[in-house]
Amino acid sequence: MTNPVVQKVNPMLTEERAKASFPVEELTYILDGGKFNTEKRREIEELVTKDPNFEHPPIQFMTREQQYSLAVKKALLVQQRLKELDMLDDPYASYFFRRIAMPREVSPIGLHWVMFVPTLMGQCSDEQRERWLQRALNYEIIGTYAQTEMGHGTFLRGIETTATYDPSSQQFVLHSPTTTSIKWWPGGLGKTCNYAVVVAQLHTQGRCHGVHMFLVQLRDESTHRSLPGVVCGDIGPKMGYHTIDNGFLQLNSVRIPRENMLMRNAEVQPDGTYIRRVSNEKLTYGTMVFVRSLIVSDAARGISEAATIAVRYACVRRQGEPSSPGAPEPRLLDYPVHQYRLLTCVANCYGLWFASEVLRDLYFTVQPDVLEGRTERLPETHALSAGLKAVGSNRGAACVEECRRCCGGFGFSEASGLPKIYNDINPACTYEGENTVMLLQTGRHLLKCVERARRGEQLAPSDAYIRSRPTPQPKLAGGPLTADLLLGWLRWRSLSMLLEVSGRFNSFIEQRQAWADAFQAVSRRLTRCAEAHCILYVGQAFLDSAKAAENPKICGVLTSLCRLFLLNEVVSGAGDVQLSRSDLARCQDAIDSLLTELRPNAVALVEAFDLPDRMLCSVIGRYDGQVYEAMLQWARQSPLNATDVHESYELYTRQFLAGRSLAKL
């Protein structure tokens, strides 16, 4: 991919940039977690941009096979470069190197570093780590995470693949007993990987002990041919994710050594005796908690890319009736409704960005304890990572789509870069736990919190408000609509909704319904409670970050953006609780005022994300704002334009026009 040649900057963008009321660079430092990180990220981006090995024509003009092949090359080249630069052990540097080298092109070896390596870290005994982890970190072996089957994705306990221990050979026999038990979806499984962590039902001494993990070699390490008993391949084209070989895997009585069961939490001894070392069996699901927390930040980054494109385009695109004769047509960004559509996406982006940082810190605080078997804060971490994964990816997909629509027809063209971002973000609503199911996990946790609060027990910090007494609805039509007041209202809303659903749930229990039936009866409402709880978390993280900004100008603009986020939640969630007409009207007026206030900072707020053209890959979101000439250049690259007359003319159209039958051709 080549960066568009930066031409003279479109004066309409220069004009907008000059309106910023705060130092954009300082906000970039905040978003990056410090000036040092910004500088390091830029150095890495520069390295990749200068490297001709990462240059190629736009992938959108390539076939899927070409896209996959190129992605394998780039993904492996990234690893080589990281090694040469001695950056392999630096997760920050590696992340940004991969991101700029393969912008929104999912890597065929992505599962290796997102799930395979973390699973080895979290699920192996110390001895197993010694044996495999370094090989995996050195990319001597390339692995994936094979859990989902054709027949079971969400309901993990229903997985059918079996791992049956044979004490005579001290081996496990891995087997796919049915068609529905064939592993389906794992990333990189089809063609790229030679190992997999396989999730299977453990059988030993005639008993099933539930799902456990096993390291299975799939392909020969030198020839890459699939090993005897292993049938695997690519699952075919998808809605997006063209660069990765999501695969299938059928195991026909494949034997692996006993030592290949991941034994941090449980063990099968040579004679077949099963020993569980920790009582909480959900520790096997640890990698998913980790990846769910990453997805929240990835969703925020996706919105940041789409919003940068759409806001820049809205500055240079004129469309509509001039305000006076001879005046130019208005810019899209001059329309209040357009400002609303874009600025609410920007507000969601900042909210999720800051929330993902708080969630990441929580994960890394809790994880060392969990690894040692102390699981007190695991339920909170699981509930938050599941719920925020759902809210983040739902919002991510919705905001990217809104940005795409904001760009009209060009938004539908791959030239805009927006379909690529959307197709990369959207599957996150499904993978790593389908979003509705994830919200139900959060809801289940919240119901239990209400019970524990009634018993006077302590709750984890993010759940603590559930212990407070119900209060009357905070009035919004009185004094100023401060961010603190709005956040208080969202806290009140979350608690009210939860108490209402919990009361309903308890009445089913009192009518002697089974727990599971009562849960199903309130499940629809419970997903809304989970969303409200997560939005409260996002709002709190947003406001805390705004207040923490040392520069008063940045503090001011972030607080205004946070108020827009909170007000929009109040207005769009007005159906969940009774909001008076006067409160609603007040909030709507406040939104209108905020749009006017924030509009001059629209470009500055997205450019604080500091996304180079190479990252955006967008004809309409270019830094220089020279959209139209670049659009024509893009179209000229279409393979359909390689000749003036396409071969289909001779083959079909000419015959058709001559009245000949096409049926025999």
Ligand X SMILES: CCCCCCCC/C=C\CCCC(=O)SCCNC(=O)CCNC(=O)[C@H](O)C(C)(C)COP(=O)(O)OP(=O)(O)OC[C@H]1O[C@@H](n2cnc3c(N)ncnc32)[C@H](O)[C@@H]1OP(=O)(O)O
Helices (H), 269-316: 286-316
> Quick check: 353 binds ligand FAD (CB under 6 A)?
no
Q: Supply the minimum distance, in Å, between the C-beta of residue 423 and ligand FAD.
A: 10
* 390: amino acid identity, one letter: A
Site for ligand X in 174-193 (CB under 6 A): 187
Taking only Cα atoms into account, the Rg of the chain, rounded to an integer number of angstroms, comes to 27
Secondary structure E strands in 137-206: 143-146, 162-166, 171-175, 183-184, 195-204
Q: What is the three-class DSSP state of 274?
A: strand
Q: Which does 246 bind (CB under 5 to 8 A by kind): ligand X, ligand FAD, none?
A: ligand FAD
Among 108, 118, 122, 186, binds ligand FAD (CB under 6 A): 186
188 vs 351, beta carbon nearer ligand FAD: 188
Among 289, 534, 558, 598, binds ligand X (CB under 6 A): 289
Q: Which does 282 bind (CB under 5 to 8 A by kind): ligand FAD, ligand X, none?
A: ligand X
209 vs 448, beta carbon nearer ligand X: 448
Among 214, 350, 431, 465, binds ligand X (CB under 6 A): 431
- Give yes or no for a contact between 124 and 143, defined as CB atoms under 8 angstroms apart: no
Exposure letters 518-530 (e unless 16+ CB within 10 A, then b): bbeebbebbbbbb
Q: Supply the minimum distance, in Å, between the C-beta of residue 476 and ligand X.
A: 35
Q: Supply the minimum distance, in Å, between the C-beta of residue 587 and ligand FAD.
A: 32
d(CA 171, CA 229): 15
> Quick check: 38 binds ligand FAD (CB under 6 A)?
no
The site for ligand X, by CB under 6 A, has a size of: 30
20 vs 384, beta carbon nearer ligand X: 384
Listed ranges 12-20, 212-220, 427-435, 565-573: which one lies at the site for ligand FAD (CB under 6 A)? 427-435
Q: Supply the minimum distance, in Å, between the C-beta of residue 155 and ligand FAD.
A: 6
244 vs 315, beta carbon nearer ligand X: 244
Q: Which residue has tokens 């540097």?
A: 93
Q: Which does 67 bind (CB under 5 to 8 A by kind): ligand X, ligand FAD, none?
A: none
Cβ neighbours for 9, distance < 8 A, ≥ 6 positions apart: 623, 624, 625, 626
Nearest to 243 by CA among 112, 374, 103: 103
Q: Which does 573 bind (CB under 5 to 8 A by kind): ligand X, ligand FAD, none?
A: none
Nearest to 424 by CA among 393, 403, 395, 402: 393
> Quick check: 432 binds ligand X (CB under 6 A)?
yes
Q: Supply the minimum distance, in Å, between the C-beta of residue 577 and ligand X.
A: 26
d(CA 448, CA 443): 9
Q: What is the three-class DSSP state of 132?
A: helix
Listed ranges 182-190, 222-230, 328-336, 491-499: which one lies at the site for ligand FAD (CB under 6 A)? 182-190
List the helix and strand counts (H, then E) for the chain.
24, 11
Nearest to 182 by CA among 211, 209, 148, 207: 148
Q: Which does 241 bind (CB under 5 to 8 A by kind): ligand X, ligand FAD, none?
A: ligand FAD
Question: For 21-86, what is the HEC assignment?
Answer: CCCHHHHHHHHHCCHHHHHHHHHHHHHHHHCHHHCCCCHHHCCHHHHHHHHHHHHHHHHHHHHHCC
Q: Which does 298 bind (CB under 5 to 8 A by kind): ligand FAD, ligand X, none?
A: ligand X
Site for ligand FAD in 122-161 (CB under 6 A): 144-148, 153-154
Among 97, 145, 465, 634, binds ligand X (CB under 6 A): 145
Strands 247-251 and 230-234 come out as antiparallel
Reported residue count of the chain is 665
196 vs 549, beta carbon nearer ligand FAD: 196
> Quick check: 114 binds ligand X (CB under 6 A)?
yes
391 vs 567, beta carbon nearer ligand X: 391
Structure tokens at 638: 């279409």
Q: Supply the minimum distance, in Å, between the C-beta of residue 108 and ligand X.
A: 11
> Quick check: 111 binds ligand FAD (CB under 6 A)?
yes
Q: x-or-dash pattern for ligand FAD, window 430-459, by CB under 6 A?
A: xxxxx-xx--x-------------------
d(CA 585, CA 322): 31
Structure tokens at 585: 């009207």
| Active-site choice (16, 380, 432, 569) | 432
Q: Supply the minimum distance, in Å, between the C-beta of residue 147 and ligand X.
A: 5
Q: What is the three-class DSSP state of 249?
A: strand
Strand partners of residue 274: 268
Q: x-or-dash pattern for ligand FAD, window 221-250, by CB under 6 A?
A: --------------------x----x----
Q: Which does 599 bind (CB under 5 to 8 A by kind): ligand FAD, ligand X, none?
A: none
Structure tokens at 129: 């780590």
Q: x-or-dash pattern for ligand X, window 382-401, by CB under 6 A?
A: x-------------------
- Give yes or no for a contact between 565 and 348, defined as CB atoms under 8 angstroms apart: yes
Among 70, 133, 371, 437, binds ligand X (CB under 6 A): 437
Strands 195-204 and 162-166 come out as parallel
Q: Supply the minimum distance, in Å, between the C-beta of residue 555 and ligand FAD.
A: 39
d(CA 161, CA 163): 7
Listed ranges 116-124, 232-240, 432-440, 498-506: which one lies at the site for ligand X (CB under 6 A)? 432-440
d(CA 641, CA 651): 17
> Quick check: 54 binds ligand FAD (CB under 6 A)?
no
86 vs 155, beta carbon nearer ligand FAD: 155
Q: Which does 436 bind (CB under 5 to 8 A by kind): ligand FAD, ligand X, none?
A: ligand FAD
> Quick check: 387 binds ligand FAD (CB under 6 A)?
no
> Quick check: 148 binds ligand X (CB under 6 A)?
yes
C-alpha of 285 from chain center? 18
47 vs 300, beta carbon nearer ligand X: 300
d(CA 125, CA 133): 11
Strands 207-217 and 171-175 come out as unpaired
Phi-psi region of 32 (alpha: psi -120 to 50; beta: other; left: phi over 0): alpha
Q: Which does 545 bind (CB under 5 to 8 A by kind): ligand FAD, ligand X, none?
A: none
CB-count burial class (<10 Å; 0-12, 13-18, 19+) for 619: buried
> Quick check: 104 binds ligand X (CB under 6 A)?
no
The site for ligand FAD, by CB under 6 A, has a size of: 22
Identify whether 432 is a catalytic site residue.
Answer: yes
Give the footprint of ligand X on this chain (CB under 6 A): 110, 114, 145, 147-148, 153-157, 187, 282, 285, 288-289, 291, 294-295, 298, 378-379, 382, 431-433, 437, 441, 444-445, 448
Catalytic annotation, residues: 432
Residues engaged in binding ligand FAD (CB under 6 A): 111, 144-148, 153-154, 185-187, 241, 246, 427, 430-434, 436-437, 440
